[in-house]
Structure 1
């Protein structure tokens, strides 16, 4: 049975409320922390970690949704408090977690299930934004598979088999007091996004079909567009592309009218596209796209120059078309990327994870990044962290210790750590590591090494915990950035110990 603290659960209009930290759940309801840590080493039970963070479960501890994959934060109901939206691929719900405060200042979350099951079978991405420009936030869910029949191709004949991917929007209710009512949200499809994909729905978010989602105003018309990574067997050779869905405005969003277009790219792509990210690489005022193609023979990290602003210069041919440029090549494969100014020179850099290489590297953005047919000039590359025994999974980049510099937070097969350039000789050397938790000791599992789930034998837990998403936000509004992490444990059934975890920064 799932290990629990002595929670006294309050009910808010039928929704479970989980208490966090040492705070009250609701007026008159409390959490008993009197025996914390007694014969127990699970960080979810004790709240203790190996650093200056405390841990608490956001989703209701007694409700066993399984397989958390994604989490995003926004103030959904306009009360000034950050709320969360999460997606889970085993139990298959998309959930909203509304933050509230008690009369004594305690923090609680009301959890509501927004959607799930068919068509929300396998989620590959999640975003929150105002897509129909009505002043209310909406939820975008990138679905790798829906189990719906007859998916399409963009510009070729439909293959006979494959995944049926889709982007669904849940448009926020006009009345913000109805945010906690699932049916007050309006479900609409992103037109032309019902597309065939390769692979199977059990292969994980980064493999097959849709694998990544990014949101931004690509054409500078004031509406938010969507860019995805798409793998399909459409056409004679398949489609391995970054695809843009152009938003035509509020009424068009509500009647599902979006325009799909593949980003042109004449260079070899290998067998898959894995990630897309948005940022103004050439600093001309529009958003460009960075994409990864893990096994491409060259430039497996590349960028696409957006022609929305097409300023003539020495680094590009200005012809009003999308152009492709190299970022670099990681010989062991390039998987997931984040865009941030690592060295604080005012130019975006690209941070990349190589799963096979067990390495996090960053590419320094140049003053003049080139695109074809101008000469390909790879960016300078530096190693931030190299892993010996474990494979890095999720990572996020923000200022975690309020020193004005970005830190990198990485999960690696049950371990969660952050890396600080201040402890290295320079930002260009390998960064200093601080361990937050280790949820699965290597090998048979020495209970003296790290906290693990008390109800799962060490040998069953080792090698089984996955943290697919790390979100860095100041959840409690105290001025220090916290971490929200999806924890997917696979010991025993793999269904009873998963959690959405808040690591509260006490520094």
Structure 2
């Protein structure tokens, strides 16, 4: 069946609308029916949530899972469930890191009321390594869903088979054996210029260091990726956050200490025109310091896309865990995507070790607010948008919704998990825990916490996905459990029986 964009049942209340959204070298040749509805354990609060094994780990270093996509021209940015086969059910996409990174499509294949997936595994067989995130959207405008991954050194684009057959793995991405890097977005592979590198090093280490004493190496890693039409030309572009690690290794027999510099930025990669491969894209810098010729998103991690100022084009919301100024900020789209036209940075707020950001209209005033997690700070924070304007040089109204003692939160998603028409915040993190928080009458006070899952053995739970996987009308969750022992790592979905209790 053709993989057209349809509204799979995800059970989401959008920021713009109050109604529930429902309805509806070459790739690896691995296909296998996996999963089922056998609970591995009943660990969750009062039996309201149950862990359901999708698969024990067949790949290492699970990093991310996504379940939502967006229409290119939808300025309200209403999320839709990923649905490759048009059956109205959510098809999660999982990213795995490591030296040979892979993307995994979990294609729904169960009867109504039963959850089963076909595993479709895609790898570049080139040099795609350390895949950190994956986004799903229609890049070439053919109505079918494509994949974009954030990885070490570059972003990668897997074009959906033109035949419409999602299961034709050999037809994903590059089908030209002579064009070995067609899947790599070439503009994303560009390193720092010599001038940028010198400015960055000078800013970080100051005077008194002689670069001639060192061997300088640069590592870059793309950490998050989103898909949206930033220039309004009808086709989707790509935005990605990027980390830099600059290593200064002393030359032989020179008695100076080694140095390491961390930095980061945000880039938009402009689609050359309904592209079917990674060639001829152009890069536009988003996260650059206004007063200095240097990057300005140290530790760039989380990304969101939304028209924050309501001017008709998409802006970028970014988390940067190592930034000394505004760990949470938004960047105003100038309306023209050009290297010569800067994006204006506006503050949202600060939270140490910012990990993830999410949109939610928490106070119901029709303006988008931002929820964020601070890992080392061990907080869930809400930034309420000011009534006069989101364009602030100081923080939005800031409220701590939860202060943890040992839990380090990672991802946050706004989901109506109990079907009451109001959004809750679902949070993943360390110690094998997933929690959700119900808003209180005064949304600026601490929200009511409930534990969704305590996985055993405990491990880290990273980026979360969600959707109505079993077709029973409520929102379930999906997560990669990263354990200390590889044999304990697994991919699970969490059955939601909350509203039937």
TM-score (ref. length: structure 2):
0.73
2:221: which partner in 1? 209
Which residue matches 2:206? none
* Aligned-residue offset at 1:47: 4.8
Give the match for residue 344 of structure 2.
Answer: 323
RMSD: 2.9
Corresponding residue for residue 180 of structure 1: 167
Matched, 1:415 2:433: yes
Q: Give the structure, 1 or 2, with the largest relative contact order (CA under 8 Å, sep 6 or more).
A: 2
> How far off its partner does 1:116 sit?
5.8
Give, in whole Å, the separation in 2 of the partners of 1:377 and 1:46: 47
* Partner SS, residue 122 of structure 1: coil
Deviations, residues 396-451 of structure 1 (Å, cap 9, x unaligned): 11111111111111123111111111xx3421111111112212xxxxxxxxxxxx
Distance 1:301 1:173, change over 3 A: same
Q: Tell me how far apart the structure 2 counterparts of residues 98 and 276 of structure 1 sit (CA, whole Å).
A: 26
Cα 1:359–1:500 change in 2 (3 A) is: same
* CA deviation after TM superposition for structure 1 residue 211, in Å: 1.9
SS state at 2:92 partner: strand
8 Å contact kept, 1:247–1:259: yes
SS in 2 for 1:186: coil
Determine if the alignment matches structure 1 residue 167 to structure 2 residue 184.
no
Q: In structure 2, what is the equivalent of residue 296 of structure 1?
A: 323
1:191 offset after TM fit, Å? 2.7
In structure 1, what is the equivalent of residue 422 of structure 2? 405
Q: Structure 1 residues 14 and 89 mapped into 2: Cα distance closer, same or farther (>3 Å)?
A: closer
2:33 to 17, 20, 25: 17
Please say if residues 355 and 374 of structure 2, whose CA atoms lie closer than 8 Å, have aligned partners that are also in contact.
Answer: yes
Whole-angstrom distance in 2 between the partners of 1:196 and 1:309: 23
| Structure 1 unaligned blocks of 5 or more | 1-12, 23-43, 145-164, 199-206, 311-318, 440-451, 454-460
Which residue, 334, 338, 342 being the options, matches 1:307?
A: 334
Equivalent positions of 1:428-439 (< 5 A) are 428-439=444-455
Matched, 1:57 2:53: yes
Matched residue, 1:335: 355
Give, in whole Å, the separation in 1 of the partners of 2:222 and 2:355. 14
Q: Please, which of 360, 367, 373 is the counterpart of residue 387 of structure 2?
A: 367
SS across alignment from 2:282: strand
Structure 1 residue 138, shift from structure 2 partner: 0.6
Instruction: Give the aligned length.
Output: 402
Q: For residue 469 of structure 1, what is the aligned residue in structure 2?
A: 463
What is the DSSP-based 3-state SS (H/G/I as helix, E as strand, rest coil) of the residue aligned with 1:192?
A: helix
Distance in 2 (alpha carbons) for counterparts of 1:219 and 1:265: 22
Residue 239 of structure 1: CA displacement? 6.2
Residue 232 of structure 1: how far off its partner (Å): 3.0
Contact 1:360–1:386 (CA<8 Å) still a contact in 2? yes
1:240 matched to 2:264? The reply is: yes
**Which residue of the partner structure matches residue 345 of structure 1?**
365
- Closer, same or farther in 2 for the Cα pair 1:363/1:92, shift >3 Å? same
